Amino acid sequence: MALRDLLHVFVVDDMSTSRGLILQALDGFGVQHVRHSADAASALAALSTKPAHLVISDYNMPGMDGLGFLRSLRSDPKLKSMGFILITGKAESSIIEAGKKLGMNNFIAKPFSPNDLQKCIEAVVGRL
């Protein structure tokens, strides 16, 4: 069985258009187990009930940004081992360095192509 058939991914993005593009790309890659949320707080609640292998999160979100979300995941013993990819329109070195210190596995800058996203994901989890 291929990794794409087993992988559970959780997408968090407050912008429905961006979230939809990511979900569409994952579907195109054949990833079958995908859940999503529009904000970090509801994502944390959903993930605490049913963890995922990989979280793909936007950086710029109201309430709790992507780094705050990552900090919350890494401080929870049940969730800290999940892979984490940060999506950002501002690929500033300060954001990337902070993400790395918090345990971010990879990042991708907006705009990106589905091929770029697939390479980013595969760098974390292996070949889809």
Cα gap 9→128, rounded to integer Å: 12
Q: Considering only CA atoms, give the Rg of the chain.
A: 13
Residue 18: its pLDDT value, please? 95
Residue 91: its pLDDT value, please? 78
Domains of the chain: 3-123 (3.40.50.2300)
Pairing of strands 8-12, 33-37: parallel
Q: Which of 115, 4, 96, 110 lies closest to 84 in space, CA to CA?
A: 96
The pTM of the full predicted model, rounded to 2 decimals, is 0.97
Strand partners, 11: 36, 56
Q: pLDDT for 24-70, tens place per residue?
A: 999 999 999 999 999 999 999 999 999 999 999 999 999 999 999 99
At residue 108's C-alpha, the angle toward residues 103 and 113, to 5°, is: 150
DSSP secondary structure of 62-111: SSS-HHHHHHHHHTSTTTTTSEEEEEES---HHHHHHHHHHT--EEEESS
Q: pLDDT for 88-111, tens place per residue?
A: 998 789 999 999 999 999 999 999
